A and B are shown apart, each in its own frame.
Chain A
Amino acid sequence: MRDYIALIDCNNFYASCERVFDPHLKNKPVVVLSNNDGCIIARSNEAKTLGIKMGEPYFKCKNLIKQENVKVFSSNYTLYADMSNRVMNIVKEHFVNTEVYSIDEAFISFPSENLSEIENRFIKLRDKIAKWTGIPVSIGVAPTKTLAKVASKIAKKNSGVFSLFDKTTRNKILKELPIGSVWGIGRRLNKRFIRLGISNAYQLSTMDHKHVKDLTNINILRTAIELGGIKCIDIDSQPSNKKQITTSRAFGKTVTDIKFLEEAVSVYVSRAAEKLRIQNSKCSIITVALSTNRFDEKNTHKFLFMTESLESSTSSTQELISIAIKLLKRIFHEGFMYKKAHIFLSGLEDSKFKQYSFKDNIKDIKQQDKLMKAFDKINKTFGSDTMKYANTGISRDWFMKRERRSNRYTTNWNEILKINL
């Protein structure tokens, strides 16, 4: 019995989520914008056909969007995360060995004796996900992760399930696959390979291993071997904790006043600290950064930052806020037009194995941990920000622009789907 890999990939995920709750959007062009309604980050097939590009700034294609009556949504990550959980839970019910690779992709590893039954099994899974959640998925099946990724792209253009086992078919497909479209080959490597005359995936798969390694690194060698049908990259079903936590977002408008920045930094620190506690970590390094608008042609782009190492690692929101505000005051420079704030927490360690120092007041730390636990529980039960630190502001008028956000249909009672009888 051999193990095979499948990649479940949600089609145009964010746009598909919006469609589930509004059938009017069926067969219509739909796009979703990034935070602050900046760029296009998801397109329905119809929007792709119109020539709207991924990552294109919204203002650049505004005319086309108006002309073609494209439906535009601000990103609604609360909804997308919940719909993603639903899809992933269905996959996990069928396959124990599942790696949730991103919000809209999951790898699974499964044993099979009989190649012919595989496709049927995945057609059933695809249909079940579509019926249960309304989300269309494509599934690529192959002997390796890298090939499953290739197969899923083909699946997307065909009926939705494609398996890639046959060697002749595989070689034919790889010959037509540009090297830059291979999983793990970034823009820079793509350029380098093309300069060397390696333009398609097949060439990489047949290169001498030592040569590949000398040219690039061990990861790309793995990719090359995987393209040849031999498994090198395992399924990672136990997601490891993040080594750094970042909260970085642009404001809804440019900000010059330090009062607003203090609020924004406090909110971002609160989010970052929550993420920290979800994975049971404490951090010992905090960095606060401010940046001005990159697209401003009159003024040069500024990036100001400062880092502090803590004597004792922490995950307490209030401790982190007070340090962050202190750093903010030091880097703040009057007269700049700030567009974005960033918080980086690093030097993470597992809360259970926290190293106490002699100066630590263990009783205070334990009390702070308990307080945060209660704080998180309240916010989990009654909705995020039910309880918050006053520094994070009440009005938050610097907050993100999300003018066209749809309802949070699955997580907020006031926003569930409404139907007229």
Chain B
Amino acid sequence: MSKTNRGSLTVLDIKSIANKKGVELPFFTARVQAGFPSPGDDYVESNLDLNQLLIKNPSATFFVKVEGESMSDAGITTGDTLIVDRALEAKDKNIVIASINGELTVKRVWIANGKVFLKPENNDFSPIEITEEMDFDIWGVVTYVIHKV
């Protein structure tokens, strides 16, 4: 992770979101003093919290770092961080983390003619058909990509 990410405090700490209870109070900046208080004080609302936006189920959410180009057309490339929610049921067209014979991979679920495929998002790669003999598990559903621009 880049330095800026490390600097953004609680936002990135899974443990602290899981434990957080109650509402964080906004921080009032203006001191009580003789003179005019800041006219903004009455309008202070809580801070924006990325966790709130990106993480629905903290106990089931994990982060994964990826390398490779097989998902580049879906906007997932080397160095990106994925947010993975294990609580979600994987559905057709979802991007998932799956394990095939013990190997973890990121692909799109594709159901066609009663068959299940894991589809890469890059024409240089071909889809994998999931068959009975494979040791196949869905590890989690990818909900967001953190991509440095």
- Where the two chains meet, the residues of A that have a C-beta atom closer than 8 Å to any C-beta of B are 22-24, 26, 82, 85-87, 89-90, 93, 131-134, 380-382, 409-411, 413-414, 416-421
**B15–A85 CB distance below 8 A:** yes
CA distance A22 to B13 in the complex (A): 22
State how many angstroms separate the Cβ of A259 from the closest Cβ of chain B. Answer: 33
Q: Answer yes or no: B50 CB below 8 A from chain A CBs.
A: no
Chain A residues whose C-beta falls within 8 Å of the C-beta of B10 in the assembled complex:
381
Closest to A128 in B: B87
**B67–A131 CB distance below 8 A:** no
List 8 A–B pairs whose Cβ atoms lie within 8 Å, in order of A's numbering. A89-B59, A132-B60, A410-B63, A413-B12, A416-B65, A419-B65, A419-B67, A419-B106
Closest to A90 in B: B59
Q: Answer yes or no: B35 CB below 8 A from chain A CBs.
A: no
- Where the two chains meet, the residues of B that have a C-beta atom closer than 8 Å to any C-beta of A are 1, 5-6, 9-10, 12-16, 18-19, 57-60, 62-71, 76, 78, 81, 86-87, 97, 99, 102-106, 120, 135, 137, 139
**A133–B70 CB distance below 8 A:** no
Chain B residues whose C-beta falls within 8 Å of the C-beta of A26 in the assembled complex:
102, 135
**A417–B63 CB distance below 8 A:** yes
Chain B residues whose C-beta falls within 8 Å of the C-beta of A410 in the assembled complex:
14-15, 62-63
CA distance A134 to B139 in the complex (A): 8
Inter-chain pairs besides A413-B6, A418-B65, 7 sampled, C-beta below 8 Å = A89-B19, A134-B86, A409-B62, A416-B64, A417-B64, A420-B66, A421-B66
State how many angstroms separate the Cβ of B107 from the closest Cβ of chain A. Answer: 8
Chain B residues whose C-beta falls within 8 Å of the C-beta of A82 in the assembled complex:
14-15
CA distance A134 to B99 in the complex (A): 13
Closest to A411 in B: B15
**B104–A23 CB distance below 8 A:** yes
Closest to B57 in A: A132
Q: Given A89-B58, A417-B62, A421-B76, is A382 in contact with B14 using a C-beta cutoff of 8 Å?
A: no
Chain A residues whose C-beta falls within 8 Å of the C-beta of B86 in the assembled complex:
131-134
State how many angstroms separate the Cβ of B14 from the closest Cβ of chain A. Answer: 6
CA distance A215 to B9 in the complex (A): 57
CA distance A410 to B63 in the complex (A): 7
State how many angstroms separate the Cβ of B89 from the closest Cβ of chain A. Answer: 9
- Tell me which of B15, B19, B137 has the highest count of chain A C-beta atoms within 10 A of its own C-beta: B15
CA distance A132 to B70 in the complex (A): 27
The one of B6, B63, B137 that contacts A382, using a Cβ cutoff of 8 Å: B6
**B14–A411 CB distance below 8 A:** yes
The one of A23, A90, A131, A413 that contacts B103, using a Cβ cutoff of 8 Å: A23
CA distance A382 to B11 in the complex (A): 11
State how many angstroms separate the Cβ of B137 from the closest Cβ of chain A. Answer: 7
Chain B residues whose C-beta falls within 8 Å of the C-beta of A380 in the assembled complex:
16
**B87–A132 CB distance below 8 A:** yes
**B65–A420 CB distance below 8 A:** no
CA distance A86 to B102 in the complex (A): 24
Chain A residues whose C-beta falls within 8 Å of the C-beta of B9 in the assembled complex:
381
**B59–A86 CB distance below 8 A:** yes
Q: Given A382-B6, A417-B62, is A86 in contact with B105 using a C-beta cutoff of 8 Å?
A: no
